[in-house]
Amino acid sequence: MKLVVLLFAGLREATGESRLELELCDGATVADAQAELLRRFPALRERRYAFALDHHYATGSTAVGSARELALIPPVSGG
Amino acid sequence: MLAARFELRFSTAPIALDPLVAEVRSDGDGAVLSFLGVVRDHARGKRVLHLDYEAYPPMAEVQMNLLFEEARERFGLERALVVHRTGRLLIGEASVAIVVATPHRAAAFDACRHLIDRLKETVPIWKKETYEDGSAWIGERS
């Protein structure tokens, strides 16, 4: 299954990508997607971020399921 | 009584407060409170030249709605509008405006404070500060 991955702020600058697609196995978790991202972008290893699946915060153990969009959320600083 | 009304908007243009106040207020409100977050000329001991804001709007809307719901449960808030800038901002510009309207003032102060404090914790918006000697996304290295 295909999952769109979005990268923001410093993560976008560190990887040079704002949007990409991953092909994941059925039953994949957020951690599985993260492992593939770390393989492609070693620069992510040094970074702190949270995950969001279809606009809701998620954790590594969250199943991707039918979600379409995974976002890596660096520490927020709005306001 | 009007139905509850909550909204988050993003804007690349300067924020004008008066139209927002007119939009949020209803005839049953005795208090309309507005907050502006404004770009400061210094941070972390350095002179700031400008800021750049980036957002993830569809998720920001979902997260902001959770915060509106919190404020509704805790303070009975029913009307609030939040406008956040994106793109480049210069010193003195408002980066965020929050307008709340309530029948009595205490709930307006409490709810507005809650919304801005929680926005800074969970809503996916990012700020990059540019100084005379470089720039940094805030929160990344802490």
pLDDT reported for residue A64: 98
B56 vs A: CB within 8 A: yes
Share of chain B above pLDDT 70, in %: 96
Domains of chain B plus CATH, in order, are 5-132 (3.90.1170.40)
Sheet holding B94-102, edge to edge: B5-11, B79-85, B94-102, B31-38
CB contact under 8 A, A79 and B139: no
- Model confidence at B142: pLDDT above 90: no
Contact predicate A37/A54, CB 8 Å: no
Residues 92-121 (B) with a CB less than 8 A from some CB of A? 95-96, 116, 119-121
| Identity of the residue in B37, B63, B139 whose CB atom sits nearest the CB atom of A74 | B139
Nearest chain A Cα distance for residue B15, angstroms: 13
- Summarize pLDDT for B130-140 with one digit per residue, the tens: 999 999 999 87
From chain A, the residues in CB contact with B120 under 8 A are 76-79
Q: How far apart are CA B107 and CA B100, in angstroms?
A: 9
Q: How far apart are CA A75 and CA A72, in angstroms?
A: 10
pLDDT reported for residue B139: 87
- Model confidence at A22: pLDDT above 60: yes
Q: Rounded mean pLDDT of chain B? A: 96
Mean pLDDT of B40-66: 97
From chain A, the residues in CB contact with B84 under 8 A are 78
State the SS3 of B87-139.
Answer: EEEECCCEEEEEEEEECCHHHHHHHHHHHHHHHHHHCCEEEEEEECCEEEECC
pLDDT reported for residue B16: 97
DSSP A10-41: HHHHHHT-SEEEEE--TT-BHHHHHHHHHHH-
pLDDT reported for residue B140: 79
Q: Which two tokens stand for residue A50?
A: 């949270």
Q: How far apart are CA B5 and CA A69, in angstroms?
A: 28
- Model confidence at B2: pLDDT above 70: no
- Model confidence at A25: pLDDT above 70: yes
CB contact under 8 A, A10 and B62: no
CB contact under 8 A, A78 and B125: yes
Contact predicate B39/B91, CB 8 Å: yes
Q: Which one, of B93, B82, B17, lies nearest residue B50 by Cα? A: B93
CB contact under 8 A, B120 and A56: no
Mean pLDDT of B65-89: 98
Nearest chain A Cα distance for residue B1, angstroms: 31
CATH of domain A2-73: 3.10.20.30
Q: Where are the domains of chain A?
A: 2-73
- Model confidence at A5: pLDDT above 70: yes
Q: How far apart are CA B121 and CA B130, in angstroms?
A: 22
- Within chain A, what is the greatest distance between any pair of CA atoms? 39
- Model confidence at B73: pLDDT above 70: yes
From chain B, the residues in CB contact with A10 under 8 A are 126, 137, 140
- Model confidence at B3: pLDDT above 90: no
Mean pLDDT of A48-73: 98
Size of interface A-B (CB pairs under 8 A): 75
| Identity of the residue in B61, B125, B128 whose CB atom sits nearest the CB atom of A76 | B125
| Identity of the residue in B58, B62, B96 whose CB atom sits nearest the CB atom of A79 | B96
Contact predicate B25/B101, CB 8 Å: yes
